[in-house]
Amino acid sequence: MNIPVFFLARTEIELIYVWNRATPEGKAIIVILITFSIVAWSIMTAKAVQMRRARKLNQYFDAEFRTQQQVLGIFDRRIQVDGCPLFAVYQEGCLELDSRLKAGNGERKRHPVTLKAMEHVKRALERAVSQEALKLESGLILLAIAVSGAPFLGLLGTVWGVMSAFSNVAITGSADLSALAPGVSAALVTTVAGLLVAIPSMFGYNWLVHTLRVMTVELDNFAQQLVSKMEVEFLKDDDANRE
């Protein structure tokens, strides 16, 4: 007989037996943990796809941005790149700068902007970086809850099940292994379920947090680079004007 098939069949029989012996409270906790597992895997999959797509789009946009001679080159072409954090930061900064460059008739001025106007652009970029970081971080709180809460729910089910097992022993007056083992094994399965939820969620959460931190730093660096290019191209040089 094939060993993996035999192992799976035996595991299935054991799970069915333990489920039948579990208390109603233990079954309720297992159902909650299964729900946690589904939610955690859904979040990990969705966030991994989102961050992978965002990283690729960032690479494409950064390569295109470096080829531009003018900082507003991409903005003037009215390009839209959905799901690209770098483009979202760039767009917000260019919108703010464009509004500072336009005259009352709506036409863009050619002369440089003031230092005060550039400060508004910097604030717009900082706000855009924070917004993009929040978008990437959305949903991670549920994953953190699964990491921290699942083991405690499993432990609660185990303690409750062991308490019920010993209560049944006290009621029946039989303390042999055949009377105690089924209840204890059914109680321990909730701890196993809690760990099966928490361990993958912990690895996924740590990877997502690390990826988010790296992308946030990249957004900050891009915002600083964008501000530097805007200042070189548009900022008024007060010292030169006084001369």
pLDDT single digits (tens) 12-67: 566 666 666 677 788 888 889 999 999 999 999 999 999 999 999 999 999 999 98
For residue 203, is pLDDT > 80? yes
- pTM over 0.85? The answer is no
For residue 6, is pLDDT > 60? no
Q: How many structural domains comprise the chain?
A: 1
DSSP, collapsed to helix, strand or coil, labels residue 7 as helix
For residue 210, is pLDDT > 60? yes
Residue 169 or residue 11, greater confidence: 169
Which of the four pLDDT bands, split at 50, 70 and 90, describes residue 122?
very high
- The candidate with the shortest Cα–Cα distance to 113, out of 243, 227, 14, 190, is 227
What average pLDDT score do residues 100-129 get?
A: 79
Residue 104: which domain range?
A: 3-242
For residue 235, report the phi and psi dihedrals to the nearest 5 degrees. Answer: -75, 135
CA atoms of 70 and 84, how far apart (whole Å)? 20
For residue 132, is pLDDT > 90? yes
CA atoms of 194 and 157, how far apart (whole Å)? 9
Contact assessment for residue 156 and residue 33, using Cβ atoms and an 8 Å cutoff: no
What spatial distance separates the first Cα and last Cα of the chain, rounded to whole Å? 93
